[in-house]
Amino acid sequence: MKNPFSFLLPKKEKRSLTVDYVDSLGLPYNSVYSPVSITTALQLSAVYRCVDVISNDIASQPFDILQFSGSEGWSVNEFHKHNRLLNYEPNPSMSKFSLWKTCITKVLLEGNGLIEIIRDGIGEPTKLILLNENFKMYQRDDGSIYYIVGYPGLERKIEGEDIIHIINFSYNGMMGISTLSYAVNSLNLSGASEASAKGFFTSGANMSGILTTEGKLTKEKADSLKASWAAAFDVTDGTPGGIAVMESGLEFKPVTVNPKDAQMLETRKFNVIDICRFFGVSPSKAFDDNNLTYSNIESFQLGYLTDTISPFDSKIESEVNRKLFRPSQRSTTKVNLNINELLRANLDAKANYVSKMFQVGGYNVNEVRKECGNPKYNHANAEKPMVQINLVSVDKIGTKEKPVDKNTTINQSDNGKGSQDN
């Protein structure tokens, strides 16, 4: 028989099985998450741009707090008590943009972004704090999660319901893995090609070669010649335009390697595309204009929004909705990231969208003005949605109907009845 007071007993705790998955990848469980140095990776322009553009676009979207009412359905409540926390100042040290940009950067580069929810005495959130400390994740027998956060000697326990945990690609849905871990081969190849290009141009495009002589050189003489030649043409530190003096009987045969033959330039171009694939960003976002035309640039932008930003938004929304609000609030309150904010600079697309919404009654006049950043009209009709009614049937095109007098219609109807009676 089940103990009726079992809820008072301490919960059994066990280490999360995610440890096995993480260790199997050779990744530390509670520290830096990638075999590639984050600093080294960010020195590659394609990596820096991909991380920067994704984090900027997600951080720039405002949170719409929606509340449900039986008469109006879901509608945005701009005066909700959590609006300041989500859209302005999550904590005294950071703005909303800084908090979420840094969090998404950590998600992409480290695999996990953790935000602690500070609550008051009745459980309402008062602050959102980005965690930059090491953490370990544990799972109880009942499936609930808790975290041990901090450095040795300064660790503290935080319940899972008080942590907004945004994860990157994951095998188990609880612990994310850094994108750099999967892109390690591409990053190493890109780093090697950049280093090769740097050495080639730093040395003034001097190439290696072979010194030959008809006679036999002693080891000391060969080392001396090699040292003097290296001092004149240093391909590592760079001594462009050096002059070498050769003794009688010596001949220099250069080993020329055309950069195009070694595919260095093609490799550097391919690296940009390959890195963009890992981050889900169109190469045009990384300023690679190859294969970019006027007709396909809009398709690239739409694909980026639907395939990269929208799934990220859903991931954040689901985590915020289940952690920020109490269970009693979740049925009538939720948050959405407003992706329309990313179209703010595209005035033509925004005007087209707003115009179509107005024509079908999706927006009223004041809602259109709000989208454009203009004040409302103080008129009752400005709050009424309108639709176009200028469509007619095909058989009436080019004809003009005469207005029908209602009284005449009634009299004719009465006369008709009277004649039948007679």
For residues 187 and 54, the model is more confident at 54
250, 212 Cβ separation under 8 angstroms: yes
Both tokens of 103, joined, read 């969090």
pTM equals: 0.67
Supply the Cα-derived Rg of the chain in whole angstroms.
34
For the residues 13-26, what does the mean pLDDT come to? 36
- Of 289 and 234, the one with more pLDDT: 289
Percent of the chain surpassing pLDDT 90: 24
**Percent of the chain having pLDDT more than 70?**
65
Q: 3-state DSSP call for residue 142?
A: coil
Options 3.30.1490, 3.30.70, 2.60.40, 3.30.1120; which CATH number does 208-255 get? 3.30.1120
pLDDT at 72 > cutoff 90: no
pLDDT value of position 202: 58
**pLDDT band of 118, cuts 50, 70, 90:** very high
C-alpha to C-alpha distance for 233 and 335, rounded to whole angstroms: 63
Looking at residues 388-401, what average pLDDT do you find? 69
- For the chain, where do the domains classified as CATH 3.30.1120 start and end? 208-255
What's residue 180's pLDDT?
A: 82
How far is Cα of residue 99 from the mean position of the Cα atoms in its chain? 14
274 vs 216: CA distance, rounded Å: 50
251, 229 contact by CB (below 8 A): no
24-37: pLDDT as tens digits: 333 333 433 455 67
Q: Which residues pair with 167 in a beta bridge?
A: 112
If residue 334 lies in a helix (H) or strand (E), which one and from where to where? strand 333-337
pLDDT band at 90 (very low <50, low <70, confident <90, very high): very high
Rounded CA-CA distance 316/152 in Å is: 30
pLDDT at 195 over 70: no
